[in-house]
Structure 1
Amino acid sequence: MRLPKSTRLRLYSQIFFFALFLILLLRTEFHGSFRNSASEVRIPYPVGLFFQLDPLVGLSNALAGHALYRGLLWCLLILIPTMLIGRFFCGWICPLGSIHHFFSSLKSERKRGKQLLESNRYKRWQTTKYYILTATLIAALLGTGMVGWLDPFSFLVRSIGLSILPATNYALQAALAALEHNRFGFVQTIGGMMHFILGSALLSFKQPYFRQGIWLGLLFLFILALNFRVTRFWCRALCPLGALLGIVSRWSVLGLVKNPEHCNGCNRCLLQCQGGDDPIGGTPWRQPECHLCLNCVDECPEHGLQFKLFPAQEAAGTNLQRRKVLTGLAAGAALVPLMRSTPGFAAEKNERLLRPPGSVDEEFFLSRCVRCGECMKVCPNNALQPALTEAGIEGLWTPVLVPRLGYCETSCVLCSQVCPTGAIWEITAKEKGWSVGISSAAKPVRLGTAFYDRGRCLPWAMATDCIVCEEWCPTSPKAVYLRPAEVIDAAGNVKQVKQPYLDPSKCVGCGACEHACPVQDRPAVYVTSIGESRSRGNQILLDRGKA
C-alpha cells in the first residue's frame, strides 16, 4: 500500500535520523593503534550531536551546573520550533520514538479491534511523564544528574551501545568464524568477504564486554515489548523529554481542526494515533500529547481533519493534578538528600571508584553525568564500565574504570571528547600528562594510586621471578621500580629475585599494572582512588593537596 505524501515524508525523516543516530553510535569507537599515531587521536565525527539537540539534557545541565556546557545551546533548534508547531521532534526525529513507532505497528493480540481503539484513547496515566519530569528537574536543580536514567538518548545509547551492539558483535563474529573455518573453499571466501564488509561498517575492533550488559538489554527489550500492549507506551507515559516538549508545545500556533460534519464515526484516525491525543470527533484534542505523525489526517477518508495555523478550536491542556505535581516536586527534592546522606557519598567512599581522566570532583560529576555510556562505548581498552554500587544509588550507570578489564591508555583522551555534558572535562593528551616526550607545566592527571598485596605477589610471597608490573608501567620514569633481594624457596635454596616497589609520587593510577598482573583471580597489585587529582581531600601525600 502506497503511503500518503505527508506520512511518507515523516517516514523518510524517521529513517534518516535513526540511520544517522546508528552511524554516529557505531563511529563512537576507535579503530587503530595509539603507538602508530603521530598526533592526538580524536573521533572525527559529531558523535554527541543528538545530546546537543536534546532540550532535556541542556536544561538539566544548566540547572545542575548553573551554565551550559559546550554545544548544548543547539537544543534551541528543537525547543523554539516546538513552541511554534508542537512535538514534531517526537514524531519525526527522535530515534527512540521511531523504534517504538515501528514495534507499535506490529500486529499484537492485545491490540485488535475495540482493544486497539480503547488503548489509543487518551488515558490519565499519560500525565505520569510530567510528574517524572518535575522530579528530575528539581533533582537537577539540587545537584544530581538522575535525569539520565530516563532521558531517551541516554537510555538508547546505554542500551544499544553497552548491550545490543556487543551482543550483535559477538554473534556475528561467531557466525563469520564458522564460515571462515568451513572445509569448503567457496564458503570460506564468502565468510572472508562478509568479514571485510562488516568489519569496516559494524564489527568492533575487538569484542567489548560490559558489566550489567544483560540487564540493560533486558530492560530495553521489556520497554519495547510494552508497545505490543499500548502504542508507544514509553513516549506516552515515561519519557521526560516528551513531557518537556509537551509543555512547550502548549502554546503552539499549529493545531488540529476537526470538522464534525465530515466525520462518519469510522475511528480510523484513532486506530493509527501514536500519541493518544484523541483525534476523534466529539472530544477535545489534546495538543501536548500529539507527536505530529499526521496519521490521523491521512487516514481520514472524509478529509475531516486538518492541521492549521492559529486554529479557532481550543485544544485541551496537560490536565495535571496539583497534588501530584507537588508530589513530584517533593520526590525530586527528597531524592538528593536521601541518596547523599549515605556513608558511601562522603564518609565511606568506595576505594575502587576510579573515574575517567578529566572527570570533575564527585559532587559535580554526579550532577553533570547523564549516564549515557558514550565514554564507555569509545574507550579503546574496554576499561570504562557502568557502575552498580560503587558510587551509591545516585551513581548507578555512571562510568568507572575497572583495571582488570582494561587500563587507561597513556595518550587517550577520547572519553573527554565524547562526554556531552562536561562531567568529563575535555582535555588534551598534553594536559593529561602521561605521554612520554610530551612536556607539561602542570602535574599529570591522576586517577588513583597502585598498592601491592605482598601476600599474593610472586616475588614477595612465592620466591618466583616476575617483573610484569614494572614492564607495563607506562610512566617515565616508571612508578614501579625493582630491587634485587635474596629469598629462600620451598626447597630451602637461596635465590635472587627482583621485588617490585611503587613510587606513589609517579603513579597516575592508569591500572596497567593491575590489568597485566599474572595472578588472575585477585591481582597482587591493585589501584584505588586515593591520590586522584580531581579531589583535594582524597589524597595520600600531603604535597598533592597543595594546589
Structure 2
Amino acid sequence: MSLRNLRRIFAVAYLALFTFVFIDFSETFSSGFTNGLLYLQFIPSLLKFLKVGGLIATGFIVVLLLTFLFGRAYCSFLCPLGILQDIMARIRAKRPRYKYLKSWNIVRYAILAIVVIITLMGSLFLLYMLDPYSIAGRIFSDFVRPAYYGVNNFFVMILGFFNSYALHHIDFKPIPWQGMAITGALLAVIGFMAWKWGRLYCNTICPVGTFLSLISRYSLFRLKIDENSCISCNRCVRDCKAGCINLKDKSIDFSRCVACYNCMDSCREGSISYQWAFGRKGSDVAEETDPTRRSFVTTFTGMLIGLAALGRADKLFAQRRIRNRGANQGAQVSAAGSKPNRRSAPITPPGSYNHDDYRNTCTACHLCVTACPSHVLQPSFNELGIFSIMQPHMDFRSGFCNYECTRCGEICPTGAIRLLDLETKKRTQIGKVVFHRGNCIVRVDRTECGACSEHCPTKAVQMVPWQGLLIPEVNPEICIGCGACEHACPTEPYKAIYVNGNPVHQVAKMHESIGDRPEESELDDFPF
C-alpha cells in the first residue's frame, strides 16, 4: 500500500474519532481516550506542558521529533483542520489541479513572530484565532454538533409517531450568534483558500504550520526529485496541494511540503522519494520574495500590533464592563428582578484557579462546552473581555456546575481547567453568593419560593422566618459559587440571588451539619 493511501486511511480515521469526541453527548468515550486522541495536538500539548508538565503533555515533543525526521507529518494526517481542508478541496466538479506557488515567507514568518510576541505579552487571542486545532474544535462544536443533535431530535419526533423510543431527545444550548459568526467566517475563508489553492492557509497564515516549516528545513529525510529520471511531465505539480514543487529547478520546497505524498503516487517514473537530506541536490530551494509584499507586511503588522494594544486595554477594562452591564440594562424595569446584578468579576470553572491563568491558557476549542452535562459552560462574547471572545465561561442562565462533576477538568487539553479530585472540587470557591432582597418574589409578591435554598448543595442559602414567610439568608463563606441558586431563581430580568466571581479561586469553609431548621412555615411543597 502506498504512503498516500496509508495517510488517507489514517487521516479519515483520526478525523472521524475527533468528530465523535466533539459531538459525544453520552460520554461514550472516556476522558483517557479523549486525552490520548488529542495527545499530539501541538498547541494544546505545548500549553499544557508549560502549565502542568508531565508525560501527558509531551505530545508536542513527539510532533517535533517526527518533523525533524520526516517533515510536517502533523500537517499531513494529525491536524484536524488540515484534513478538513483536504476534504473541502475535493468539493468541486473536477479534480483539483494545482500549480507551483511562490512562497510568502515574509508574510508567514511575520505572522508567526507577531503571534509569538503577543502571546508572550499575555494574550492568547491571535494564537487561538489561528491555531488549527482550536479552529477545528469550534467548527465541530458550533456547527457539526448542533446539526447532529438537530437531526437526532428530528428522528426522535418521527419515531415517536410510531411509538418507537430507540433514540432519545438531546437538550442543548444554542451557541451565541457572535461566536458562530466568527467561526463561520473563518470556515468560509479557509474553505475558499483550500478549494482554490489547496493548503495555502497552512503555508501562509497558520502559526503551527509556519513553526514546523522552520524545523522541516532541517529534516533528516526529505522528499527529493531525481533529476536523471524526471521527465518533467508536470503530474506531481498538478497533484501537489502545497504548491511547493518547482519543475524548473526540479526541486521541492520541503519547508512548505505537508507530506501528502500525492507526488510520489502520481510520478510514473518513480523520480520522487524520501532520501537522506544531506549531500544531494533536489529539495532545498532559495526563498523567493516579492518586494511588492513588503507594504502588505508592514500594514498587516501594524494592524496586529494595534490589536495587541487593544487587547491589553480590553483586559484592564473587562471588570468595569461587567460591573456596569447590569446598571445600563436595568433602568426601565420595576418590581421583582429590578435591581441589576453587579458582578465585579466573571466566573471561570473549577480548576482554572484564576482569571489571568485561564485566559492565558485556554484556546477556546470548546471541548469542555460540548462535554459539560449541565450546559453551564458556554462560549463568551465579552464576559471575559472582547479579546477573550469565545473562551468558555460559567453561564448560570444556561445551567449550573454539578456538585459531583469534574468532566471539564478531565478532558481539557491545554491545562486551562486542571483536574481536581472530587473532594477538592467540592470546596473550590469560584465565586460567592449575593442576595438582593429587593428582587426576591418573597418580599415583592409576598409568596413562598425557596428555589435557591432547595438547590444549594452546601447549604450556603437557607430559609429563615420573615413576616410570616420564609426568605433566603446567605452565608458566602461556605458558598462554592456553583450557581445552582442563581439558575433556579425565577425572577427576571435580574436574579434575586446570583454569584459574584472570585478573580482568584479560594477554598470555601466547611459547612456545619444542618441541625435546626426554621420552625415557621416549613417548605412542604417545591413551588416550581
Query: TM-score, normalising length from structure 2?
Result: 0.81
Distance between the aligned counterparts of 1:403 and 1:317, measured in 2? 56
Q: Deviations over 1:450-478 (max 9, x none)?
A: 32333432111111221111111111xx1
* Distance change >3 Å, CA 329–CA 367, structure 1 → 2: farther
SS of residue in 2 equivalent to 1:46: helix
**CA deviation map 1:206-235 (0-9, x unaligned):** 334332453255235413243222213432
Instruction: Give the equivalent residue in structure 2 for 1:130.
Output: 109
- Match for 1:466 among 449, 461, 465? 449
Q: Does 1:415 align with 2:408?
A: yes
Q: Which residue of 2 aligns with 1:5?
A: 2
**Which residue matches 2:485?**
513
Question: How many pairs align?
Answer: 479
Query: 1:534 matched to which residue of 2?
Result: 505
Contact 1:103–1:228 (Cα < 8 Å) also in 2: yes
State the shift of 1:361 in Å.
2.0
Distance between the aligned counterparts of 1:125 and 1:349, measured in 2? 42
Distance between the aligned counterparts of 1:46 and 1:393, measured in 2? Answer: 33
- Rounded to whole Å, the distance in 1 between the matches of 2:160 and 2:320 is 55
Deviation at 1:95, TM superposition (A): 2.4
Q: Which has the higher mean CA deviation after the structures are superposed, 10-19 or 256-265?
A: 256-265
Q: CA deviation at 1:30?
A: 4.1
Determine the C-alpha separation between the residues in 1 that align with 2:301 and 2:44: 19
Specify the code of the residue in structure 1 equivalent to 2:73.
Answer: F
Q: Within 2, Cα distance between the matches of 1:513 and 1:383?
A: 13
> RMSD of the TM alignment (CA)?
3.3
Alignment of 1:387-398 (within 5 A): 387-398=380-391
1:341-383 residue CA offsets vs partner (Å, 9 max, x unmatched): 3432566665261100121222222222222212222211000
Structure 1 residues 281 and 88: CA distance shift in structure 2, 3 A: farther
User: Structure 2: which amino acid aligns with 1:121?
Assistant: Y
Rounded Cα–Cα distance in structure 2 between residues aligned with 1:137 and 1:69: 23
Q: What percent identity do the matched residue pairs reach?
A: 26
Aligned to 2:526: none
Q: Which amino acid aligns with 1:106?
A: I
Equivalence for 1:83: 68
1:374 alignment partner in structure 2? 367
Listed as ranges, the gaps of 5+ residues in structure 1 are 32-41, 434-443, 487-495, 540-547
Alpha-carbon distance, 1:243 to partner? 1.1
Change (3 A) 1:345 1:385: same
Match of 1:316 in 2: 285
1:266 and 2:233 aligned: yes
Report what 1:214 is aligned to: 180
Q: CA 1:243 to 1:301, structure 2 compared with 1: closer, same or farther past 3 Å?
A: same
Q: After superposition, where does 1:154-303 map in structure 2 within 5 Å?
A: 154-181=134-161, 185=162, 192-193=165-166, 195=167, 206-212=171-177, 214-215=180-181, 218-219=184-185, 221-222=187-188, 223-260=190-227, 262-282=229-249, 284-303=251-270
| Counterpart amino acid of residue 32 in structure 2 | Y
State the AA in 2 paired with 1:228: W
CA distance in 1, matches of 2:21, 2:3: 27
Instruction: Kindly provide the amino acid, as one letter, of the partner of residue 10 in structure 2.
Output: S
Relative to structure 1, is the Cα distance of residues 419 and 328 closer, same or farther in structure 2, using a 3 angstrom cutoff? farther
Asked whether 1:344 is paired with 2:325, we answer no
> Following the alignment from structure 1 to structure 2, what is the Cα–Cα distance between the partners of residues 399 and 20?
23
Q: Residues 138 and 332 of structure 1 are in contact (CA less than 8 Å); yes or no, is this contact kept in structure 2?
A: no
CA contact (8 A) 2:223 2:272 kept: yes
Tell me, in whole angstroms, the C-alpha distance in 2 between the residues paired with 1:69 and 1:304: 43
Is the contact made by 2:46 and 2:58 (CA closer than 8 Å) also made in structure 1?
Answer: no
* Residues in 2 aligned to 1:123 and 1:451: alpha-carbon distance in whole angstroms: 60
Question: Whole-Å Cα distance in 1 between the matches of residues 371 and 219 of structure 2?
Answer: 39
- Indicate the residue corresponding to 1:102 in structure 2: 87
Cα shift readout 1:502-523 (whole Å, capped 9, x = no counterpart): 2222222211111112235433
Q: What's the offset of the Cα at 1:29?
A: 5.7
Alpha carbons 1:135, 1:332 under 8 Å: kept: yes
Larger deviation, residues 290-299 vs 402-411? 290-299
Looking at structure 1, the residues matched to 301 and 33 of structure 2 have their Cα atoms a distance apart, in angstroms, of 35
Distance change in 2, residues 1:348/1:317 (3 Å): farther
Q: Classify the secondary structure of the residue corresponding to 2:269.
A: coil
Match of 1:36 in 2: none
Which runs of no fewer than 5 residues in structure 2 stay unpaired? 324-342, 509-528
CA distance in 1, matches of 2:290, 2:246: 23
Give the SS at the match of 1:448: strand
TM alignment of 1:111-126, pairs within 5 A = 116-117=97-98, 120-125=99-104
Q: Distance in 1 between matches of 2:193 and 2:3?
A: 27
Q: Contact 1:28–1:43 (CA<8 Å) still a contact in 2?
A: no
Alpha-carbon spacing, 1:386–1:355, altered in 2? closer, same or farther (3 Å): same
Partners of 1:134 and 1:326 in 2: how far apart?
13
Cα distance, 1:307–1:140 mapped onto 2, change above 3 Å: same
Distance 1:362 1:333, change over 3 A: farther
Which shows bigger deviation, 127-136 or 416-425? 127-136
Inter-CA distance 70–431: structure 2 relative to 1 (3 Å threshold): farther
Distance 1:345 1:317 in 2: 47
Amino acid of the structure 1 residue aligned with 2:271: G
Cα-to-partner distance string for 1:123-160 (whole Å, 9 max, x where unaligned): 34465443322222222323333322221111111221
Question: 1:50-92, CA deviations, whole angstroms, 9 ceiling, x for partnerless residues?
Answer: 54313334445667x5x74662212222111211111122123
Q: Secondary structure at the match of 2:159?
A: helix
C-alpha displacement of 1:294: 1.3
CA contact (8 A) 1:130 1:243 kept: yes
Aligned with residue 482 of structure 1, among 440, 457, 463: 463
Paired amino acid for 1:450: V
1:234 and 1:101 map into 2 onto residues whose CA distance is 12
Give, in angstroms, the shift of residue 93 of structure 1: 2.6
